[in-house]
Amino acid sequence: MFVRLKKIKDKYYAYHVQNKRVRGKVKQKVKGYIGRAYFPKKTNEKDFFEFVNENINNYNKPFKEIIEDLIKWEFLKHNLKDIELDKFLIKKDNNKIILKLNEGYLYDKTIKNMIKFQPVGDDEYIIGKEFAEVFVKAGIDIPKELFVKLFEKIIKN
C-alpha cells in the first residue's frame, strides 16, 4: 500500500492506494482517505539534543516518548505551530492531516509503524535497514547517535 495525492481545487488530499492485478493489467484501488496534505518547508536547523536540552548519554526516555520528541522536533524545524499531536494523531483544526516531511509522509500510520516496530529474524544488518526505513517513510530525520541508541533498545527486547 502507498500514499496517493490528489489535487482538488488547489488543495492536496491523501489516500491509501493498493495495486491489484486484473487480467494482466495493474489496477489501483483506493483503500481509504488519510486527510489533507501539507508540504511545510524546513525553516530551522536546531539540533535534536539542543531541542531536548540533554546530551546523548543523559537522554534516557521510554521509546514512545523519544518518538514523540522526534516528531515535536520536526514540527519545530518546519515551523508547524498550529499542528497538534494528539495521541499520535496529527491534527489541524481538529481534522486529521498528513505532512510531507523530508523524504516521507508523517501521519498516524507511519507514527504507529515507528512505535510498534518489531525486529524479524536475527540478522542485525537487515533489522537495521528495516528500522531506518520506518523513519525515512515517516519523514523523520533522526540523528545517527540516537538511531544507534534506539536500535540497541530494539535489539535487546
Amino acid at position 124, single letter: E
pLDDT digits (tens, 9 = 90+) for 20-54: 888 889 888 999 999 999 999 988 888 888 888 88
Q: How far apart are CA 143 and CA 110, in angstroms?
A: 18
Biggest CA-to-CA distance, the chain: 58
Answer whether residue 14 shows pLDDT above 90: yes
- Secondary structure class of 21 (helix, strand, coil): strand
pLDDT of residue 124: 86
- Secondary structure class of 66 (helix, strand, coil): helix
Answer whether residue 137 shows pLDDT above 90: yes
pLDDT digits (tens, 9 = 90+) for 92-130: 888 889 999 888 999 999 999 998 988 888 888 999 999
pLDDT of residue 156: 79
pLDDT digits (tens, 9 = 90+) for 46-83: 888 888 888 887 888 888 888 888 988 998 888 888 88
Closest by Cα among 83, 79, 99, 82 to 91 = 83
DSSP 98-154: EEEETTEEESHHHHHHHHT----SS-HHHHHHHHHHHHHHHT----HHHHHHHHHHH
pLDDT of residue 153: 84
What are the residue boundaries of the structural domains of the chain, listed by start? 1-37, 39-156
pLDDT of residue 12: 94
pLDDT of residue 105: 92
Cβ neighbours of residue 156 closer than 8 Å, sequence gap 6 or more: none
Cβ neighbours of residue 67 closer than 8 Å, sequence gap 6 or more: 111, 114, 115
Confidence of residue 1 (pLDDT cuts 50, 70, 90): confident
Q: How many other C-beta atoms can be found within 10 angstroms of the C-beta atom of residue 64?
A: 11
How do 84-86 and 25-38 pair as beta strands? unpaired
pLDDT of residue 7: 92
DSSP classification of residue 41:
P
Mean pLDDT value of segment 1-19: 91
